[in-house]
Structure 1
Amino acid sequence: MKILKLFVFVGLSLLFLNSCQDDRDDNITNINELANQEDIKDYMWKAMNTFYVYKSDSPDLADDRFENTPEYRDFLSSIKLPTEFFNSLLADQDRYSFLVSDFVTLEQNLDGISLDNGMAFGLIRFIGTNTVFGYVRYVIPGSPADSAGLERGMIFNRIDGIIFSPDTDFNPLLNPASYTLGLAELQGGDLVQLDQEVALNKVQLTENPIHDQRVLDIEGLKIGYLMYNNFRTPFNTELNAVFANFASEGISDLVLDLRYNSGGSIETAKDLSSMITGQFNDQVFAQQLFNANFEPRNLIFDNQINTGEAINNLNLSRVFILTTGSSASASELVINALNPYIDVVQIGDTTEGKFEGSATLYDSEDYTRNNVSLEHTYAIQPLILKTANKDGFTDFFDGLDPDIELNESFSNLGILGDPNETLLNRALQEIIPGFAPTSNESKSIHSIELLGEDDMSSPSFQRMYIEYKNK
């Protein structure tokens, strides 16, 4: 059964996640279990048949899969639950497409609004041992974690008295609205449990992805530092203002800290890259590669953010980008897209390896938020494109390797933005000949495995998505 290709690409752009939409249809209620399940699966199949980037690798999505309507309806009824049905359509190489049962929550999450206690953390295992612990990466100002006195670098090894092990299922421990952390510390490479405990509760938070920005004046050079933790369109004006300040200060170099940035808006990634540069206006930023239903599309460097405000650019020919295994999707897009144009010096660890972008597809006539069905609250977020730089480089499943490999020191993480912090210090050594190396550099005898992080159960985790554009 073949879906008519009613959309030209301009039409496709209208389905992209509308993060700036104010009307969230408060009339929608969660009545998924009462809705017609086959109708829900029908919408999912048709949306995936039209837009799924790995359609050719999913036999059940082939245009000629069904000879007639009864066969198609039998297929829809063969799997009872919409979640299981959606998952059955995914190609083997797809690690990121997902379904949500409440699209309003998804929209809020992609805008940075969520129930959270404000503690960003990583969960670590020393490979070859049973030592598992969490470490605080940073704390959102004004959050419950901030009020409780948590700080970057603190370590914990238990939640509500349950001590972590390699077999720990973290989701049931981290999901409750409140829980108590048990603190620990590293002493000579060994984890030592402390008696101190910290109670945390979750509230509705909006996280500003601009966690830290400053100008470092070192040996007569002005160096910009920006820790940017998610590509969120509602904060583009603030991001642009940061670059206006960098420009007015006359910075010679920029250190862009994406070590904990798991992704976000493709449009914002392009705008950030245009702020860093500016000399490549109207040239190809990146390529978007779709399934056979659509022609590839070039993303172009431009001089406006989504509000129409002129981009404040730096015209840099070099940028230093700090990464870890938590740097994903839109963070990797910035690195990959800038590589053919300027000297991108990547410092830290290999990135996640996600080059695909997704979009929210709703149950409506054109799969946009407009006139969405009120019969249920499902939405799907499938991969609909792959990104490549202007030279066609893509499919980096194993991530982007750093030019200078360096790990954070978990026993002494340092202060973000401080010249003595391990990763920033290494960038400054490249910028300023003879700049003194930090004593914080990791000398751990253990190999590290990242087991998880604070937003791993979030629908926006490691997502790179396209959204409706006002400009």
Structure 2
Amino acid sequence: MKKLFYLIFVLGAIGFSACKSTKKQDPKPMDTSKQAPTTLDLIKDSIFLYAKEDYLWNTSLPTYAAFNPRSFTGGDDITALTKEVNAISQIAINPLTSKPYEYYKDAPGEAKYSFIDDGTVSAELNGIKGDFGFAPFYNLVNDLRIKYVYPGSPADQAHIKRGYQIMSINGNTSLSYDGPRYGNGSSTNLNFVINAYSNSNSISMTLKKPDGSILTVTNMGVANYTVNPVLKDTVFDQGNGHKIGYIVFNSFTSDANADPKLDPAFANFAAQGVTDLVVDLRYNGGGYVLTAEHLDNLIVPAAKTGSLMYNTYYNDILTSGKEVLLKNQWRKDPVYGDYNYGPDYIDYSLAFNAVNFAKSGSLNVNRVFFIVTNSTASASELTINNLRPVMDVKFIGDTTYGKPVGFFDIDINKYQMYIPEFYTQNSIGQGGYYGGFYPGTSSYPGFEDQDDVTKDFGDPTEGLLAHALNYVKNGTYAVQTQAIQSLNSRIGVLSIGAQKAAVRKMDQHKFTGMIFNKKRKLKR
């Protein structure tokens, strides 16, 4: 891919006059305003100018002079660039909320969607990760658990499972939650946990299994592994002709990586005569649009083939083909590995970006339950929203993240900038879910409940899955025998705000977004 290193542009005419006086002039201080800009200055300029052209809410941005991109500073380059992106993100105001479209209530002033990346995201979403392969979660103030493990990762090879309780990390047993919205908010323990599992090359842990036995993991190292985004798939026979297919899909990696994992699972569902489907997206922060479309086509009834799945909308500059800066980005086609015929041919118009359903596989269901939490975002929400007009869609869990917009990467020097360039609507115009999907409401029918991280995926007694199983069998979501659902009665319970704040800090390195990676429509 040919990368644009930065934009060189003229800010204004600088006049120089020759002094013809024969009188010797006293030396003057250096005029720093006429010094050549640094590479960092030019990157800052490029961030703003690309946003001014391609950002979904570009008309809200001020002039270059008023914004002054080079004024943003930080302890390192990426901190300074992140400050600039954050500032851009807070300018456009959503008239329905009177707050920025990118307002994030758990971190006011920070961008909810936009960010600067050093290439980590593209590697991760193409299925390659280099870490321990697990993620922790605070179930209670004094109860730190494993919330998922990637197959084939170091954690998987060490026999670590979802639901295991972490008793110590690197010999430290002081792991109780002390972060935002709880206690003094010192975050000493929280920061220790984050550094241990996300910023270290080796980790030792003592874990308690559900049966009370202890697993000791010593000096587990990070490693590169290929991500299998399907963490679990199984079938439950609920009797009376009801069979439920259950799949945990944790990341919309590239279709080349994800499709070979999804297809066999859905083929098995079809072979076993599954009548109802449960898709667990509780920790899925999104990824590639093409993979979301494929998942929709695996789920949708065959009769809907050829009908509209969703529409994509860009700003007026892109829609009318008047982009200038973006044409410097020669985009390699992610599907076929070749190069498109040049940036002049890319078409961002509504007509050329409509997507229709095209049934894949033979699974035939009319109802699907989606398990969701506040970590369910972007491409996950797109997948769900696309199916709402054409199927009986049920929601189980907590309010989703709320990201009805998407982006593609813009290369600037060694960085990639991700800013919203488009929004989507399904076939009946539903979109704009900036506040997320609210399970158990009239718009999002289902059942609201909190995550149950004490059980492994596929355990029929796990809180959120149990609601779906019970609904299919008995016609009601309520599961009376599960004390785990009485969250407020448990000692040391975290407030919802504190738990979300903890998740946000602990998942700060995890991608959240919806990336356009389809073969581009070409102008004719």
Q: Does the TM-score normalized on the shorter chain lie above 0.5?
A: yes
Task: Supply the AA of the counterpart residue of 2:417.
Answer: I
Aligned to 2:175: 163
CA distance in 2, matches of 1:341, 1:143: 37
2:415 to 375, 378, 387: 378
Matched ranges for 1:29-68 at <5 A: 36-59=39-62, 65=63
Q: Residue 349 of structure 1: CA displacement?
A: 1.6
CA distance in 1, matches of 2:485, 2:114: 36
2:249 aligned with 1:228: yes
Write out per-residue CA displacement over residues 411-434 of structure 1, whole angstroms, 9 at most, x where no aligned residue.
Answer: xx3332233332222112221237
Q: Residue 47 of structure 1: CA displacement?
A: 2.0
Task: Supply the AA of the counterpart residue of 1:416.
Answer: F
1:392 to 394, 404, 429: 429
CA distance in 2, matches of 1:284, 1:434: 31
Say if 2:246 and 2:280, in contact at 8 Å, map to a contact too. Answer: yes
Q: Residue 35 of structure 1: CA displacement?
A: 6.9
Aligned to 1:263: 286
Aligned to 1:421: 462
Secondary structure of 1:452 counterpart? helix
1:461 to 511, 516, 519: 511
Write out per-residue CA displacement over residues 325-348 of structure 1, whole angstroms, 9 at most, x where no aligned residue.
Answer: 221111112222211221101112
TM-score by length of 2: 0.67
Say if 2:410 and 2:418, in contact at 8 Å, map to a contact too. Answer: yes
Q: Residue 437 of structure 1: CA displacement?
A: 4.6
2:262 to 239, 248, 257: 239
CA distance in 2, matches of 1:414, 1:85: 42
TM-score by length of 1: 0.74
Classify 1:177/1:407 alpha carbon distance in 2 versus 1 (closer, same or farther; 3 Å). same
Secondary structure of 1:383 counterpart? coil
Say if 1:260 and 1:326, in contact at 8 Å, map to a contact too. Answer: yes
Q: Could you say which structure has the higher strand fraction? A: 1
Aligned to 1:323: 372
Q: Could you say which structure has the higher helix fraction? A: 2
Q: Residue 280 of structure 1: CA displacement?
A: 1.9
Secondary structure of 1:286 counterpart? strand
Say if 1:274 and 1:301, in contact at 8 Å, map to a contact too. Answer: no
CA distance in 1, matches of 2:84, 2:504: 28
Alignment coverage as a number of residue pairs: 399
1:212 to 232, 238, 252: 232
CA distance in 1, matches of 2:209, 2:364: 44
Task: Supply the AA of the counterpart residue of 2:472.
Answer: I
Say if 2:281 and 2:371, in contact at 8 Å, map to a contact too. Answer: yes
Q: Residue 107 of structure 1: CA displacement?
A: 1.4
Matched ranges for 1:164-313 at <5 A: 164=176, 165-166=178-179, 167-168=186-187, 169-170=190-191, 171-174=194-197, 175-181=199-205, 183=207, 199-219=219-239, 220-232=241-253, 233-234=255-256, 235-277=258-300, 278-295=302-319, 297=350, 299-303=354-358, 311-313=360-362
Say if 1:118 and 1:146, in contact at 8 Å, map to a contact too. Answer: yes
CA distance in 2, matches of 1:36, 1:427: 54
Say if 2:281 and 2:372, in contact at 8 Å, map to a contact too. Answer: yes
Say if 1:271 and 1:302, in contact at 8 Å, map to a contact too. Answer: no
1:112 to 120, 127, 134: 127
Secondary structure of 2:435 counterpart? coil
CA distance in 1, matches of 2:169, 2:260: 38
Secondary structure of 1:350 counterpart? coil
Q: Larger Cα Rg: Structure 1 or Structure 2?
A: 2
Classify 1:312/1:470 alpha carbon distance in 2 versus 1 (closer, same or farther; 3 Å). farther
Q: Residue 87 of structure 1: CA displacement?
A: 3.6
2:363 to 314, 322, 335: 314
CA distance in 1, matches of 2:2, 2:70: 31
Aligned to 2:486: 443
CA distance in 2, matches of 1:136, 1:198: 16
CA distance in 2, matches of 1:396, 1:470: 26
Write out per-residue CA displacement over residues 173-204 of structure 1, whole angstroms, 9 at most, x where no aligned residue.
Answer: 43112233455799xxxxx9x99776532111
2:130 aligned with 1:140: no
CA distance in 1, matches of 2:357, 2:38: 44
2:382 aligned with 1:333: yes
CA distance in 2, matches of 1:116, 1:463: 20
Say if 1:241 and 1:312, in contact at 8 Å, map to a contact too. Answer: no
Write out per-residue CA displacement over residues 63-106 of structure 1, whole angstroms, 9 at most, x where no aligned residue.
Answer: xx25xxxx69x945444556144443333432121112x32x33
CA distance in 2, matches of 1:408, 1:56: 40
Q: Residue 224 of structure 1: CA displacement?
A: 1.3
CA distance in 2, matches of 1:262, 1:113: 16
Q: Share of identical aligned residues, percent?
A: 30
2:101 aligned with 1:93: yes
Secondary structure of 2:474 counterpart? coil
CA distance in 1, matches of 2:512, 2:136: 15
CA distance in 1, matches of 2:504, 2:156: 18
CA distance in 1, matches of 2:424, 2:515: 11
Query: Where does structure 2 lack aligned partners over 5 or more consecutive residues?
Result: 6-36, 91-99, 103-111, 180-185, 320-348, 440-445
Q: Residue 284 of structure 1: CA displacement?
A: 2.2
Aligned to 2:93: none
Say if 1:52 and 1:291, in contact at 8 Å, map to a contact too. Answer: yes
CA distance in 1, matches of 2:289, 2:375: 17
Aligned-residue RMSD, C-alpha: 3.4
Q: Residue 210 of structure 1: CA displacement?
A: 1.0
CA distance in 2, matches of 1:154, 1:438: 24
Query: Where does structure 1 lack aligned partners over 5 or more consecutive residues?
Result: 1-22, 29-33, 60-64, 187-191, 305-310, 364-375
Say if 1:136 and 1:155, in contact at 8 Å, map to a contact too. Answer: yes
Say if 1:425 and 1:438, in contact at 8 Å, map to a contact too. Answer: no
